[in-house]
Amino acid sequence: MRLPAAKGGIRNCRQGRILFDKRDSMEITCVTQQKSHGFVAQVRMQMRAGRLGWAEARCGQTCKVAPRSYLEPPRIPERVRRKRWGFTLNELLVVIAIIAIFVALLLPGLTRAKAKADRVFCANNHRQMAQAANMYGSDSHEYMAWPNWETLGAAGSGYCGQPVQFGGWLYTPGVPPDLTVSPYKDNPISAYQDGLWFSYLRNPGVYLCPVNHKSPYYSQRINKLSGYLMNGAVCGFGQLYLQQATRFTWRTSEIWSPMCWLLWEVDETLGLPPVGGYAYADGSVYPDHGSGLTRIHGAGAPVLALDGHVQFVSPSQFVLEQSNCARSLLWWNPGTTNGR
């Protein structure tokens, strides 16, 4: 069949193949059907640029290309269609290795950042307790709060057989309230309400170190109210009350230095076997070599001083103060010459 040349490009149609004559030559495979009223060709165009489209031609008419919405997707060769796309085992192993390297590089940094954040949080707890101690001292003629020295037995009993006439910084002298049983389990704040510092520090979370739960001995503690213990030098390690029945604690002005250490976290892993949860039998501590500074924060831990400043102390520095035979930052009992 011979088609007249027309603007649009149709030159001829011979044996199911139509040749277009435009600026860029195109080969169009005829997918036609014969009708009684004339030749109707519906063709698929394959241009040099790679675009595909549909065209319709009637004998003696100009071929017009259909809109882009009617473009037919390209036909994929049979050998390409049979090929499966995806990762090979080697490629997958390389990707996993790269991810593992990145994790190995980032994880230590993230761990150090988390540990530093815990130390900052713990130091902030110390600062808030320093404010409570300062306000209590201002209202109590510079006397410090009773450090809850030793577990005194049943509630209502006194120290060394004496009747209870005073409260403790953390709880009323006696057995510490157990936060794991009722009514304190359902209302934890009620366990702190009898403490002398509670009027100045009502947030129970401040009394607890953010990493307390990491201690393997936490469940064995008798005192779960606080992760921080007060230096027993506040009450002369129990001797002041026996010597002067009218006094329970020392005044801050009687201490040889305001830099002396008042509050810190105790190491539960010392001793053979380890002292464990018994280190938290009450709210105070005797700072000998059996009660060191916790290592749960890594290279050291925050320590609260009498003047309210918080100092980051290393375990070696703490041991050095423990070994001092004279009065020191740990041994500052005004009732003795060596602070013990």
Number of domains in the chain: 2
Whether residues 298 and 175 fall in one domain: yes
- pLDDT-derived band at 14 (thresholds 50, 70, 90) equals very low
Q: What is the pLDDT of residue 80?
A: 55
- Residue 305: its H or E element: strand 301-305
Q: What is the pLDDT of residue 81?
A: 54
Q: Which DSSP category does 20 fall into?
A: E
Is residue 35 predicted with pLDDT exceeding 90?
no
Whether residues 66 and 132 fall in one domain: no
Whether residues 277 and 199 fall in one domain: yes
Whether residues 170 and 245 fall in one domain: yes
**Distance separating the N- and C-terminal Cα atoms of the chain:** 121
The mean pLDDT of the chain is: 76
In a domain, 240, yes or no: yes
Q: Name which residue leads in pLDDT, 3 or 337.
A: 337
Whether residues 136 and 52 fall in one domain: no
Task: Render pLDDT for 36-73 as a digit per residue (tens, 0 to 9).
Answer: 344 444 444 443 334 444 444 444 444 444 444 444 55
Is residue 159 predicted with pLDDT exceeding 50?
no
In a domain, 310, yes or no: yes
Gyration radius from the chain CA atoms: 43
Q: What is the pLDDT of residue 27?
A: 41
Q: What is the pLDDT of residue 45?
A: 43
Task: Render pLDDT for 135-153 as a digit per residue (tens, 0 to 9).
Answer: 999 999 999 999 998 744 3
In a domain, 16, yes or no: yes
What is the DSSP annotation of 225-290?
Answer: S-S-EEEGGGGGGGHHHHH-TT--S-BGGGSS-TTSEEEEPBPSS-TTTT-GGGGGSSSEE--STT
In a domain, 47, yes or no: yes
Whether residues 211 and 272 fall in one domain: yes
- pLDDT-derived band at 78 (thresholds 50, 70, 90) equals low
What is the DSSP annotation of 135-193?
Answer: HHHHHTTTBPPB---S--SSTT--GGGPPP---BSSS-SSSPP-TTSTTTTT-GGGGTT
Q: What is the pLDDT of residue 82?
A: 55
Q: Rounded to whole angstroms, how far apart are CA atoms 54 and 163? A: 105
In a domain, 314, yes or no: yes
Task: Render pLDDT for 244-292 as a digit per residue (tens, 0 to 9).
Answer: 767 889 999 999 999 999 999 999 988 878 888 888 988 999 999 888 8
Coil/strand/helix, residue 76: coil
Q: Which DSSP category does 84 fall into?
A: P
For 5-19, what is the mean pLDDT?
A: 40
160 is written with which tokens?
């060394």
In a domain, 263, yes or no: yes
CB-based contacts of 328, cutoff 8 Å, min separation 6: 321, 339
Chain center to CA of 287: 31
Single out the residue of 188, 182, 183, 196 nearest to residue 224, CA to CA.
Answer: 188
For 113-124, what is the mean pLDDT?
A: 86
> Cis link prior to 273 (omega < 30° from 0)?
yes
Say which range, 102-111, 223-232, 277-286, has the weakest mean pLDDT. Answer: 102-111
Whether residues 63 and 158 fall in one domain: no
Whether residues 136 and 275 fall in one domain: yes
Q: Give me the domain span that covers residue 264.
A: 113-322
Whether residues 208 and 262 fall in one domain: yes
In a domain, 96, yes or no: no
61, 67 in Cβ contact below 8 A? Answer: no
In a domain, 83, yes or no: no
For 83-94, what is the mean pLDDT?
A: 77
CB-based contacts of 248, cutoff 8 Å, min separation 6: 143, 146, 166, 235, 240, 241
Q: What is the pLDDT of residue 90?
A: 86
Residues composing the chain: 340
Three-class secondary structure assignment of 57-78: EECCCCCEECCHHHCCCCCCCH
Q: What percent of the chain has pLDDT over 90?
A: 36
Whether residues 202 and 260 fall in one domain: yes
pTM of the predicted protein model:
0.67
Whether residues 274 and 169 fall in one domain: yes
Whether residues 244 and 129 fall in one domain: yes
